[in-house]
Each structure stands twice: as C-alpha cells, then as structure tokens.
Amino acid sequence: MSQYQDNIAHGEHAHEGGMDKKAIWRVFGVLLALTCLEFLIALGFVHHWQILTKGALVNTIYIVLTLVKAYYIVAFFMHLKFEKSSFIVTVAIVFIFIIYFIVLMLVEGGFLAGAFQEHQLFPNK
C-alpha cells in the first residue's frame, strides 16, 4: 500500500509538466487579463461609452472569454493538461451530454416564449 503510494507520488513528480511558481503566476496573469477584458467590455464599451449594445455579439464575446478562462483553470490549475490522455478523455467526454442539454433546453425555452404569445388561453366556460 505504502509502496504503491510512493510509486504514485514519484510518478506525479515525473510528469510534473512545469507548473512552477512562474507558470502559476503566468496563468494567473492570463485569468486576470481576461477578467479585466470582460469588465472593459461591460463597464467601458457597453455601459459608459455605449459603443456596443448588449446582444448576441457581446454575449458571444463573454461566453468565448468564459470558456477560455475555464480552459486555463482546468488545464493548468487543476493540472488536467498534464494527466494521461485517456484520463483527460474520461473526464472531458461527458460534457457532450451537457452541451446537448444546453441546446435542448434553450431551444425549448425559445419555443415556449413564442408559443405562449401566439396562442391565447380560452376560458373553459
């Protein structure tokens, strides 16, 4: 048991993948920069200067920035990028279901928005 753990511990060091202090602060810099960019868009471009209006374009930018941030957190802070590829696939593949669920429910929501307006209620009298 203990020897097994030792092996694991050594193995972990073997594929450490270069997350030294410098790399950690670099990832932090990326996350901070992306968050600042989101605020620049939200407070600067949309709210203050009113160059952009809230809508599909701005929302797409926010979502892309969010996904990039999520990648950096999972890949580097959670160290997933440096695990064995079969483990990465095991953990990541289930998100296909989540993506499917997002599409499913948003389409449904959009349908309801139209359907409630188009078809009035008839009193049962």
Partner 1 sequence: MSTTVSQLDKVKTGPWNGGKSPWNLEYGKIMMWFFLVGDAFTFSAFLVYYGAQRFSHPTWPDPDKIFQSIPGIADHGQPLVFVGLMTFILIMSSVTMVLAVEAGHRNQKNEVVKWMLWTILGGICFVGCQAIEWTHLHHMGFWFGKNPATGLEGDAIKTALLPYFTHDISYTSALQFANLFFTITGFHGFHVTVGIILNIIILFMTLNNTFENRGSYLMIEKVGLYWHFVDLVWVFVFTFFYLI
Chain residues that interact with partner 1, rule: CB under 8 A: 4-9, 11-13, 15-16, 19-21, 24-25, 27-28, 31-32, 35, 38-39, 42-43, 46-47, 54, 59, 62-63, 65-66, 69-70, 73-74, 77-79, 83-84, 86-87, 91, 94-95, 97-98, 101-102, 105-106, 108-110, 112-113, 116-117
Give first-to-last CA distance, the chain, whole Å.
75
Contacting residues for 30 by C-beta, under 8 A, at least 6 apart: 72
Taking the least distance from each CB to partner 1, the nearer of 28 and 124 is 28
- Alpha-helical segments (H) within the chain: 2-14, 21-39, 56-72, 85-92, 95-118
